[in-house]
């Protein structure tokens, strides 16, 4: 499965980092990014075998910038 972060939606609230520091961090631009993720068309994606806490991050994100596919 894949964790996808739509950077254009992110408002840099830091909630995803708080609940899931394993996968998310705030970048120098103040917006969230996925650790080890690949940039693709304005999004950051990471293939994972288990979504783990990324599911919580997707639920808690106030602007629905995180998706698990
Ligand atoms: Fe950005 Fe959503 Fe993470 Fe907040 S929870 S930093 S809006 S991706």
In this structure, what CATH number is given to the domain that contains residue 17? 3.30.70.20
pLDDT of residue 21: 98
Residue ranges lining ligand 1, Cβ < 6 Å: 5, 10-16, 32, 61-63, 65-66
The residue range of the domain holding 31 is 2-68
Instruction: Point out the ligand 1 atom lying closest to the alpha carbon of residue 11.
Output: 7
pLDDT of residue 68: 98
pLDDT of residue 24: 98
pLDDT of residue 51: 96
Q: Are 33 and 26 in contact (CB under 8 A)?
A: yes
Pocket test for ligand 1, best of 3, 12, 67 (most atoms within 8 A of CB): 12
For the stretch 6-35, pLDDT in tens is 999 999 999 999 999 999 999 999 999 999
Q: Are 25 and 44 in contact (CB under 8 A)?
A: no
DSSP for the chain reads -EEEEETTT-----HHHHH-TTTEEE-TTSSEEETT-EEETTEEEEE-S--TTHHHHHHH-TT--EEE-
Query: pTM of this prediction?
Result: 0.95
Q: What's the chain's average pLDDT?
A: 97
Q: Please state the domain count of the chain.
A: 1
pLDDT of residue 48: 98
């Amino acid at each position: 499965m894949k964790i996808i972060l739509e950077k254009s939606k992110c408002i840099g609230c830091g909630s995803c980092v708080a609940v899931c520091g394993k996968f998310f961090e705030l970048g120098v631009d103040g917006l969230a990014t996925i650790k080890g993720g690949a940039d693709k068309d304005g999004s950051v994606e990471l293939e994972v075998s288990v979504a783990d806490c990324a599911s919580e991050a997707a639920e808690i994100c106030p602007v629905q910038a995180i998706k698990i596919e």
